[in-house]
Amino acid sequence: MKKTMLCLVLSGLLLQQPCLAETPDNEPFNLECLVIGQEADPARGRKLFKDALESWHRGKKSEAVDMYESAIIADHSILRHEDHGLAMALLEKYRDPAKKDDLITLCRRGFFENILVGNLESSIDYYEEAAKIAGNERDRQLAQDEANRLREQLSYISEWQQGIARANRLLRAKDLQEYLHNSKIAELQGQIEDNSLELEELQERLAYLQNQEKEVLEQMYSSVRYAARYRRQHYYPGAYQTGTPDPSATFFPEGSWGSDNSATQAQIANPYAGQPNTGPDSNTALNRFYMYRGRARRQQDQLDQIRAEISGLYRRIAQMEKSNRELREQASDEVVK
């Protein structure tokens, strides 16, 4: 029994030996033309792909490209993985004009041109050339079948592109009328949006200026009060105490800032004479009076500028609102048309 089993095993090995001799590197013989869809050995393909990447990163580019090619032949699904530039290097290898144009080279050129860059025209040409030089009917049929399949695919893509182009022309013709009708509406709406944005900016600026007006007005009133206080201290030294009446309220009206408000001889009488002077001396009080009066004048000028800008903003806002009303009316008329 053992001798019988041994003979059977040896017979099986002898039957397989010619096939292995015809396919170097254990590449399946039916992939000589590398037709899409004929996967052979996924395990071997993954190992070769891993080795190819390692060689590629070590700088052994020629070795890596050969391993990558063998990996694809063993398992076409390798093409789904990130190749880090191996695919284009392999394509350049077969695009080299010095490479011999034999059956396998032409078929693989056609395969890589199709799979790697989608160049169907060149792929079809290479497969047809391979069919012409094929040495046996089987190889010729494989190459021709692949060329026919790709030609049908190219024809379908061309028809699809032509159909899309026709549909696009019809859509453009249809959209042209709508565009001509809606272009003016869109333009008006764009102007309305621009005006609305500008109107918002103007209103924000107006609110800011109004707040500034309030602050500057309060600062000016404060400066005027300090100026009046130190003027009173200069003419009535004893009037610095808090709560004492202001005799200048009658004798020294505010009047114009530019007028001479100096006291007359008849107004020199100080009703607070004899009271202790706890405030600054007369000269200091006079200097502070002029300082606060000048500050009040500058604040008055600033206030006038702010109010002038506010007036201009009110006019501009009114114009923008009127313009928006007119634009909306025109847009409504266009929609009706």
What is the length of the chain?
A: 337
How far CA 288 is from CA of 232, 280, 300, in Å, comes to 11, 10, 18
Which phi and psi angles does 322 have, rounded to 5°? Answer: -65, -40
The amino acid at 200: E
DSSP for residue 77 = G
From first to last of its 337 residues, what are the pLDDT tens digits of the chain?
434 433 433 333 333 333 333 333 444 444 556 555 455 678 888 899 999 999 999 999 999 999 998 888 888 888 888 889 998 898 888 888 888 888 888 888 888 888 888 888 888 998 888 888 888 888 888 888 888 988 898 899 989 989 999 998 888 888 887 877 788 888 888 888 888 999 999 999 999 999 999 999 999 999 999 999 888 888 877 655 555 444 444 444 444 444 555 555 444 555 555 555 566 777 888 899 999 999 999 999 999 999 999 999 999 999 999 998 888 888 887 766 6
CB–CB of 103/136 below 8 Å? no
- At which residue do the structure tokens 């709406």 appear? 189
CB-based contact 24:70 (threshold 8 Å): no
**What are the Cα distances from residue 184, in Å, to 17, 76, 327?**
82, 56, 11
Please tell me whether the overall predicted TM-score, pTM, comes out greater than 0.75 for this model. no
Q: What is the pLDDT of residue 96?
A: 84
Q: What does the block give as tokens for 234?
A: 């200069």
Handedness of CA 10, 11, 17, 19 (dihedral sign): negative
CA gap 323, 94 in Å, rounded: 69
| Residue 176 in tokens | 């042209």
Residues 6+ apart with CB under 8 A from 260: none
Task: Compute how many other C-beta atoms are within 10 angstroms of the C-beta atom of residue 128.
Answer: 18
CA 232, CA 243: separation in Å to the nearest integer?
13
Residue 279 CA neighbour count, 13 Å, CB half: 21
CB atoms within 10 A of CB 65: 23
- Looking up tokens 């404060």 gives 222
